[in-house]
Structure 1
Amino acid sequence: MARWEPNARERLVRAALDLFAEQGYDATTVNEIADRAGLTKTTFFRHFPDKREVLFAGQDTHARLLADAITEAPGPVTPLQAVGAALDAITATFTDDRREFSAKLRAVTADNSELQERAALKRGGLANAMADALRKRGVSEPPASLAAELGVRAFYQAFDQWADPVNQQTLTELARHALDELRAAIAALD
């Protein structure tokens, strides 16, 4: 086993996703994931509490990126402008080399109710991180939570489009467009 090689966490994530796509989530074991990554089961559990979490490894990083970007948004901005800055920050981390991985992740998640449930928890966690950051900027409720929910909705709408291999736009462009569409939809409600 190549235990000394770098990027064990990333290798485990990629091995898990490949195996889930090949044989299904339920049919894949932690041992198989570790073997595919060239690591041990013990190493897997140093990085992840269970096989479900291996696909959601970046949640804390994403939540922190969103919250930090809202906190650091310049001067007086509207809640949606702060959310727009947060979307720019998180989408900048999704480079074109992650598009194929993201498409596979979407497909694997769509095929399993347990992973869909975990994805919904992640979505809620990202919204909470943005709403908390907005409240720290002095945004009251319900505007803070509503702006955060719109940001998460724009992100996932854009992500679904971006993960399609035929799409050539950046995730940042797609997220900005999705947020603009949501702004227009809100204006049309009144």
Structure 2
Amino acid sequence: MIPSSAVPSAALNLLITQGFDATSVDELATAAGISRSTFFRRFGSKENMVFADQEMIITHVETTLAASSVDATQTLIDAAHVVFDQYTANPEAAQLRHKLLSSVPSLRERELVSTHRYERAFYQFLARRDLVSTPAAHALGLGISAGLVAIHNDHLRMWLREPHSTDRTKLAHDVLIFLERFSDVLNPNDELRKPASAAPSVVVSVLPAGADEQSILDAVAKALRERQH
């Protein structure tokens, strides 16, 4: 289990109140209760500190995807849970980080890079399962990966606005509905196990010209009974 937050809330709050560019590494180290050398050893830079949680989450997602032995759909739901659970484990840090990213354009650009890394992790999982080997499946795999991130981010934004508006169960529900639309890609073997549709029955009855409706129905019913024996 990785820590709920690698980024001290006090350091995030300092970046918000003083401004990202105006805050020195020494001030951040003091706010975090560590030395300057420890700060650089742990984070490397101010920007890396802000995204330290994401680095851990991405690593955890990649580990979850690589270690899974269940079907692709359940594995992707589990991975979405990893991301959501980690972000929501520390509401204070999540809210502060969201506020900081909203006010610093360069950090928002770094956020987009992280989004693409999640998409790549999902796609690479599909590739390892040999689910995107054809051109058509490749295109769908890219869409599945991007869709997973979009659904998760939507739930995370809802949670940031109102923590009680969503939870991991609702996230799993929406992810499952989305993934079921791609069941032929994610679970191709299920298609092979589906029973073949029964061939339509053809019944021929010969009746005299002018037969009424009841006579026709009786003749068809008799032919069907004889067919069953």
Q: 1:16 aligns with which of 11, 17, 20?
A: 11
Q: CA deviation at 1:169?
A: 4.6
Distance in 2 of aligned mates of 1:175 and 1:55: 25
Look up the equivalent residue of 2:171 and give its one-letter code. Answer: A
Aligned residue in 2 for 1:125:
117
Q: What is the aligned-residue identity percentage?
A: 22
Q: CA deviation at 1:92?
A: 2.9
Q: CA deviation at 1:26?
A: 1.6
Maintained 8 Å contact 2:8/2:93: no
1:9-48 deviations in Å (ceiling 9; x for gaps): 84x5323211112122121111110111222211110011
Q: CA deviation at 1:95?
A: 4.4
Aligned residue in 1 for 2:101:
109
Higher RCO (CA-CA < 8 Å; seq separation 6+): 1
> Aligned in 2, Cα 1:159/1:21: closer, same or farther, shift over 3 Å?
same
| Aligned Cα root-mean-square deviation (Å) | 2.7
1:1-150 aligned within 5 A: 10=6, 13-71=8-66, 72-75=68-71, 77-78=72-73, 81-96=74-89, 98-140=90-132, 141-150=138-147
TM-score normalised by length of structure 1: 0.77
Q: Which moved more, 1:66-75 or 1:29-38?
A: 66-75
1:81-106 deviations in Å (ceiling 9; x for gaps): 5422211233233445x122212211
Q: CA deviation at 1:178?
A: 4.6
Maintained 8 Å contact 2:123/2:142: yes
Q: 1:176 aligns with which of 167, 172, 177?
A: 172
Unpaired runs of 5+ in structure 2?
133-137, 183-229
Maintained 8 Å contact 1:162/1:174: no
**DSSP-derived class of the 2:112 partner:** helix
Q: Which moved more, 1:59-68 or 1:39-48?
A: 59-68
**DSSP-derived class of the 1:26 partner:** coil
Aligned residue in 1 for 2:157:
160
Distance in 1 of aligned mates of 2:123 and 2:26: 39
> Aligned in 2, Cα 1:158/1:14: closer, same or farther, shift over 3 Å?
same
Distance in 1 of aligned mates of 2:48 and 2:154: 22
Distance in 2 of aligned mates of 1:156 and 1:178: 12
Look up the equivalent residue of 1:168 and give its one-letter code. Answer: H
Q: CA deviation at 1:73?
A: 5.0
1:60-88 deviations in Å (ceiling 9; x for gaps): 3222332333341514x45xx54222112
Unpaired runs of 5+ in structure 1?
1-6
Q: CA deviation at 1:59?
A: 2.6
Look up the equivalent residue of 1:45 and give its one-letter code. Answer: F
**DSSP-derived class of the 1:58 partner:** helix
Distance in 1 of aligned mates of 2:141 and 2:62: 12
Q: Which moved more, 1:81-90 or 1:172-181?
A: 172-181
Q: CA deviation at 1:183?
A: 6.0
